[in-house]
Amino acid sequence: MTHKQLVKGNEAVVRGAILAGCRAFYGYPITPASEIAEGAARYLPQLGGTFLQAESETAAINMLYGAASAGLRSMTASSGPGMSLMQEGISYLAGAELPCVIADITRGGPGLGNLNPEQGDYFQVVKGGGHGCYRNIVLAPDSCQEMADLTALAFELADKYRNPAVILADGYIGQMMEPVAFSSEFSAVPEKNWAVKGTPQTRPNFVTSIHLEADALERHVRALESKYIAMGRDEVRYEAFHADDAEVVLVGYGIVARILKQVVTQARGLGLSVGLLRPITLFPFPSLALGALSRHASRFIAVELSTGQMVEDVRLAVEGRKPVELFSRVGGNVPTAAEVLTFVRSRVQELCHA
């Protein structure tokens, strides 16, 4: 059974996490992600869980390491500058194969930037961010409903692969309000036989990310690599919207994808063959799906709230078979459907005169 409530995207993250069995949150408030910490502080103690406001994001990510080591479903949340402070800890979590969930509600940057929505954290989150050879599972919601649903999925995937999972959303999705359908039941949390719980039974367990001998570290890194390959094979998620017959394929995630659906609908009304491929998993990226579309599409346009980060993955997926362009806004500016449509129409006219 489900029930609907009108909530902010950030609060949907918290409720989705709690229904997924999250019982510990460690964080430090930062706009536009602060409502996640606020919601965790409100709800978790009522369920016997733990909320702790750390003295910094660096402290929060290390507290998350400890809770994850004990087998607890736990999470944190932040935004650009705070995520930068967490990078070493995220690398340690990945190296120690500790499942956890991190929500990044992206704001403008670099530096302190501003509080408006942007997508400039893509490189940092999707490509690793910290030191060493590791990857995060990265999910990109485009609605308040998906803020809840993909957070729950993030916990499932984190446990399945013993790996950090990140919800990468822009400040627009975090701050907007929509009706969200929540389940009335809590998810079952799997037993973690590898965890260290301070009991005689778990005393032999050992959680670490250090492997001082070269061959031992190589075996460990290759084992991590095999997980990432399995993710790329089994966990790719995307949404195709009128893409199967499109000459021009738009690619975007988060709030941008919602705008692009309007663009596609309007373009189709004008007789233009335009479609959308929305990545839901940013890692693993839907490279095969984009590659398949490149067999019939004449052009790809990546639309981002950055100077161009995801566009690099689009180009790699298309492998030079078709041109890939970028339409972007930055500084917290979000493009209108009219702006993107004007850009798309100019590119369609080029195709007609080619």
- Specify whether 200 is located in the same domain as 322: no
| Contact predicate 167/151, CB 8 Å | yes
Let me know whether 324 and 217 are in one domain: no
Cβ neighbors of 257 (< 8 A, separation 6 or more) are: 142, 239, 276, 278
Q: Decide: 74 and 100 in contact? Cβ < 8 Å.
A: yes
352 pLDDT tier (thresholds 50, 70, 90)? low
CA distance 114 to 108: 5
Mean per-residue pLDDT of the chain: 96
The amino acid occupying position 306 is: S
Considering 197, 214, 234, which residue would you say is the last residue of a domain?
Answer: 234
Instruction: Give the residue-averaged pLDDT of 205-214.
Output: 96
Decide: 289 and 240 in contact? Cβ < 8 Å.
Answer: yes
Are residues 90 and 222 both part of a single domain?
A: yes
pLDDT digits (tens, 9 = 90+) for 272-287: 999 999 999 999 999 9
Which phi and psi (to 5°) does residue 203 adopt?
-60, -40
Mean pLDDT, range 76-80, rounded to an integer: 98
Which of residues 193, 208, 234 is at a domain's end?
234
Mean pLDDT of 249-261: 98
What is the predicted pLDDT for the residue at 173?
97
**254: nearest Cα among 120, 77, 84:** 120
- The whole-model pTM stands at 0.96
Helix axes 9-19, 34-43, angle to 10 degrees: 40
- Identify the domain containing residue 294 by its residue range: 238-353
- What three-state secondary structure class fits 119? coil
- Quote the number of domains for the chain: 2
218 with 127, same domain: the answer is yes
Residue 1 has a pLDDT of 75
- Same domain membership, residue 246 and residue 143: no
Q: In angstroms, how far is CA 130 from the centroid of its own chain?
A: 16
Note the pLDDT tens digit of each residue in 152-170. 999 999 999 999 999 999 9
Domain stops at, among 179, 208, 234: 234
Residue 348 pLDDT: 84
- Indicate if 69 and 128 belong to the same structural domain: yes
The strand pair at 137-139 and 281-283 is best described as antiparallel
d(CA 227, CA 162): 9
Instruction: Using CB atoms within 10 Å of the CB of residue 293, give its burial: 0 to 12 exposed, 13 to 18 middle, 19+ buried.
Output: buried
Pair (143, 186) in one structural domain: yes
Q: Are 50 and 158 contained in the same domain? A: yes
Asked if 80 and 94 sit in the same domain, the reply is yes
242 shares a domain with 230: no
User: What pLDDT was estimated at residue 93?
Assistant: 98
CATH number of the domain that 310 lies in?
3.40.50.920
What are the DSSP calls for 248-308, one per residue? Answer: EEEE--THHHHHHHHHHHHHHHTT--EEEEEESEEES--HHHHHHHTTT-SEEEEEESSSS
pLDDT at 216 over 90: yes
Both 280 and 143 in one domain: the answer is no
Mean pLDDT to the nearest integer, 183-203: 92
Percent above pLDDT 70 for the chain: 99
Across the range 59-78, mean pLDDT stands at 98
Please check the confidence at residue 354 and state whether its pLDDT lies above 90: no
- Whether 197 and 322 share a structural domain: no
Q: How far is CA 62 from CA 84, 151, 197, 288, 313, in A?
A: 14, 21, 17, 36, 31
